[in-house]
Chains A and B, each alone.
Chain A
Amino acid sequence: MSKKPYLGFGLGLRTEHYDAILKQKPAVDWFEILTENYLVPGGKPLYFLDKIRENYPLVMHGVSMSIGSTDPLDWEYLKEVKALADQIQPAWISDHLCWTGIHGKNMHDLLPLPYTEETVKHVANRIRQVQDFLERKILIENVSSYVTYHQSQMTEWEFIKEIIEQADCHILLDVNNIYVSAINHEFNALDYIKAIPSERIYQIHLAGHSNNGDYIVDTHDHEVVDEVWNLYKKTIEYHGKISTMIERDDNIPPLKTLLKELNYARKLATAAK
């Protein structure tokens, strides 16, 4: 297997920060864009995307590939994704290990899959088709979940490991999602993290969440919590250095605040090596 690329420390690109990024050229190693936001004919988002691309590496992160759906793959959507990738040349393309709807509907949510052999085969087969079409390996991200299905026959980490091996794809490991799911489903987050093969982990997501006491909802509207920082540090100690970024989708603070948080990640990762 070829050596995996290392991008350093990135942030999610958000419209609120367009101007600040162009003016201040902040010390962010790369940006992750939300693919769907740029699948439009033209206007401001695409204008800023081109400008920012001149100064920074980008990766594309999608939310509606619906790789686990029983609907056919949406080739029109994939064509648009491919065209955007041709234009901005991202370091890689990722989406989530989930389904978002069937019968042509979109629930606009990252819905969990049952961990069965049937699902593994189905999803791995679809990832292969997408990779053939996009002519590149993709990254799939573990989602946070609030339900466990009776029909599940294995743990989430066994499920994800089998899929990435059968599909020969990479993984975007969301450490916050693992933390959230570990609380919601009462498993040990480190068991999960250690089960994932190091060479498959191309990227890490860090984010904040809302704690409701008995369960946790993955809201991306807060700072990263100490428990997640701690897990992140252990992830880097165990797997070695991995491109890392912080996701913030709601309650978005000024760029400065996110840069501070990103520097904290940098410090932790450097100390962990």
Chain B
Amino acid sequence: MPENLLQLQNNFQEYLMQEKQDIKQSIMSTEKVSAEMRLAIYGEAYRSRLHEALEASYPALKKYLGEEEFEKLCYRYIDANPSVYRSIRWYGDQLAQFLKDPFLSELATLEWTLALVFDAKGGSVFQLQAMSALSPDSWADMKFIMHSSVYRLNFSWNTMQIWQKLMEEVSPPTLKKNARSEGWILWRQELTSRYASLPQDEAWGLDALLNGATFGELCEGLCEWVAEEEVALRAASLLKGWITAGLIVDVTIK
């Protein structure tokens, strides 16, 4: 191990992250530019680069809080969460957990999830016509491979409505708590990111599929919302909608 190099890098990094001054003795000053000024170029660049990364991932949160408050939040986050990622694109993944305010945390979760949807693996999806190849006897045993871009979120606040307005650069509605948690789905079709609000039974059904449920299990579960004689119809219609929306990559028989 190159001991001198390790010591130097350790001191330099502690300067960037915690403003510790040990590195100063290793840096030459010139007549024009002192060691402090030289180090400060790196110190400022460190914080501003991470701040920029958070701005890129959380544009609506920034608009909601305002430039100044957002910057304060970023600096607190940067101090508490140094980057452990090779690509700066992943920096900021803990912001929702870091925010104590439940609405702000939801807004952060939404924005981070949108970025995940944007970057998710693409590829071909299951086509409705392919259903005809499956014998109706085996329908109950069908399992589904979901598209990697599919994310399910539940909101306790009117977070989605606020986010939409913020992104349209118009003033957002007043913050208000939902009577009961509101289910949404976010996904990508080809290169277009999409999102939709879900009725309760559909939200439950998608969660079930994402957890590996069969079509039979889906029908059983839907009985909580739908009369037994209508459940098969409801399940089939949901499935058709999901396939058409490109949420399903493949159907297998258990």
Contacts and interface: CB of A to CB of B under 8 A. Distances in A.
Are A and B genuine complex partners? yes
Interface of A: 36-37, 39-47, 64, 68-70, 74, 77, 99, 101-109, 111, 113-114, 116, 118-119, 121-122, 146-151, 184, 186, 214-215, 217
A101 B41 CA distance: 17
B33 A64 contact: no
Interface of B: 1-2, 4-6, 8-10, 12-13, 16-17, 25-28, 30, 32-33, 35, 37-39, 41-42, 45-46, 49-50, 53, 82-89, 91, 118-123, 148, 188, 191
Given A149-B27, A150-B28, A215-B32, A74 B86 contact: yes
Contacts of B12: 111
B30 A47 contact: no
B83 A105 contact: yes
Contacts of A45: 119
B17 A149 contact: no
20 contacts: A42-B120, A43-B120, A43-B188, A47-B122, A70-B5, A70-B6, A103-B13, A104-B84, A105-B13, A105-B84, A106-B83, A106-B84, A108-B46, A109-B42, A109-B45, A114-B8, A146-B42, A147-B38, A184-B33, A215-B38
B122 A105 contact: no
A147 B39 contact: yes
Nearest to A116: B4
A42 B121 contact: yes
Given A42-B120, A43-B188, A44-B118, A122 B30 contact: no
Contact of B9 (A36, A39, A69, A108): A69
A114 B88 CA distance: 25
Contacts of B6: 70, 102
A116 B33 CA distance: 23
Contacts of B46: 107-109
A46 B28 CA distance: 44
B89 A114 contact: no
Given A105-B13, A111-B12, A214-B32, A39 B38 contact: no
Nearest to B85: A106
A214 B83 CA distance: 31
Contact of B35 (A101, A116, A147): A147
A108 B5 contact: no
Contacts of A37: 87, 89
Nearest to B87: A36
Contacts of A149: 8, 26-28
A66 to B, nearest CB: 9
Contacts of B42: 109, 111, 146-147
A259 to B, nearest CB: 26
Nearest to A106: B83
A204 B17 CA distance: 33
Contacts of A40: 87, 89, 119
Nearest to B44: A217
Given A37-B87, A107-B83, A108-B46, 11 more contacts: A42-B119, A43-B120, A101-B13, A106-B84, A107-B16, A111-B12, A114-B8, A114-B26, A118-B4, A119-B2, A215-B32
B191 A44 contact: yes
Contact of A36 (B2, B83, B86, B122): B86
Contacts of A70: 1-2, 5-6, 9
Contacts of A105: 13, 17, 82-84
Nearest to B82: A105
Given A116-B4, A146-B38, A108 B30 contact: no
Residue picked from B9, B33, B39, B91, most chain A C-beta under 10 Å: B9
B45 to A, nearest CB: 6
A41 B2 contact: no
Given A108-B83, A214-B32, A41 B5 contact: no
Nearest to B192: A44
B87 A64 contact: yes
A102 B9 contact: yes
Contacts of A148: 27-28
Contacts of A114: 4-5, 8, 26
The 3 closest A-B pairs by CB, nearest first: A41-B121, A36-B87, A42-B121
